[in-house]
Structure 1
């Protein structure tokens, strides 16, 4: 039944994404992993094709160097093995954040896996505040990958505050950008008590300007579990910056699903007979450079 459902979605050019906003405890790897696996399994059982979990969902939001070294694991560690198995069971994709150990370096990492292994491996480029004392800045660029559900890119939390990130991913052909997060205050002057935060404002505006769908899933309520006051408020939007679901709860674990129409995302790159934002860019005046390519 799972295969028929998934194949039907693929044929229709759309996918169902589960936003799994979880409340994780700092350093409690086994418990966090168990929560993440249970939530992912429930999402797949409920019809999801792609499950998105927050930044550092397995380790918790660790900003202590000694604790991070203790809870870190390699890319092919126990967490990967279990999520790869789960993704294979349901013929889907899982996106999760963890503290990665590579040699002597620690990275704030997000991986997208299917049943065969990692599809995307990303190390956070822009480290926020105390993360700079713990993690090495990312060295894998801004990866995109073709999947059965469309072309997907990934970034993490603070990366969304740098407009070049979503612009580069979109110009490299991403239909959908996944942005696991642990949203906190500190960047904006004020943080609304309820509803969407300024993080969400940024996501919606950039999705529209870059014609790319975005799913941003944050941790929540971390202050009660040994971490910072993570803000929740996870969202999914289409390539016009219109909300598909969310903002989710600002104070508690929450979940939702959104159907992403990949063909509609691609169609959004043309806004009218004479309104074609990508063609209208003045590349004779400016360009965005990435990996030797320029747009």
Structure 2
């Protein structure tokens, strides 16, 4: 396994329901990131369909998980021998999902449906039902969640306990949940939460957000890459601008961060005799 990996954050905005134009946009920026040396490229949440809640309009343009977007991203991944992570509106039967995938040269390695729907997303989408899978790559083990999922600390902790070294998070960060938009360093509150969770769960977290004004929303940008000690490896990217960063990191640091001193081992020090995280319910689930 090669632990050194270059992670590309692509911060762009998608126009609502402009699927073909947005897909072309992701192709251009993903190629740019790969050409800059990225091994893994992370795109924002719902970047193909834009951040929209008109379920009737979404239903007309939504795609299956093996549809044109995933095929296009897989082609890009194969050409670069890398990985592409990003979000779109998935249709499965009559149900719509806020979906993210991670694809490699041979196709989809992670298929995730947003578990915690935010505000009006509840009107358009069904709750995610695929759990929190992780996938092994030649660089390390990666997990996947979407935006508001980061507000629930169990999500990152669960994937970390399942072996994730890196958690990729397509986002569309918006103002309104917190009292401030950005601090003096251009960091939004959602990013601060990612910094804290990376440290507490000893994982890399890569967040790529939409940015600028698209449709009725002003996105916060502030895309970041955080290391397992809670230190920024990249970002925050400018709040209102399209931007890209490519940063080399050592995913092996995620394992090393589990021991902080001779008698300080935050992963091993968990008291699972007193508490734990259950995946897939108490009856038939697994406890971590």
Q: Structure 2 length as normaliser, TM-score? A: 0.96
Residue-by-residue CA offset, 1:35-78 (whole Å, 9 max, x unaligned): 10011111111211011000001111111111211221111111
Are 1:69 and 2:59 an aligned pair?
yes
Aligned length: 283
Q: CA deviation at 1:82?
A: 1.1
Alignment check: 8 A CA contact 1:94 1:114 kept:
yes
Aligned to 2:194: 203
Alignment check: 8 A CA contact 1:25 1:227 kept:
no
Listed as ranges, the gaps of 5+ residues in structure 2 are: none
- Equivalent residue of 1:20, what SS? strand
Q: CA deviation at 1:294?
A: 1.3
Aligned to 1:104: 94
Aligned to 1:246: 235
Q: Provide the C-alpha distance between the structure 2 equivalents of 1:70 and 1:138, rounded to a whole number of angstroms.
A: 20
Q: Structure 1 length as normaliser, TM-score? A: 0.93
Select the residue among 143, 155, 167 that pairs with 2:157: 167
Alignment check: 8 A CA contact 2:37 2:246 kept:
no
Aligned to 2:40: 50
Q: CA deviation at 1:23?
A: 1.9
Aligned to 1:263: 252
Q: CA deviation at 1:193?
A: 6.7
Aligned to 2:118: 128
Select the residue among 220, 224, 230 that pairs with 1:235: 224
Aligned to 2:211: 220
Q: Provide the C-alpha distance between the structure 1 equivalents of 2:148 and 2:11, rounded to a whole number of angstroms.
A: 17
Select the residue among 137, 143, 154 that pairs with 2:133: 143
Q: CA deviation at 1:192?
A: 2.6
Q: Provide the C-alpha distance between the structure 2 equivalents of 1:127 and 1:46, rounded to a whole number of angstroms.
A: 34
- Equivalent residue of 1:286, what SS? coil
- Equivalent residue of 1:79, what SS? helix
Alignment check: 8 A CA contact 1:155 1:178 kept:
yes
Identify the structure with the greater helix proportion.
1
Are 1:37 and 2:30 an aligned pair?
no
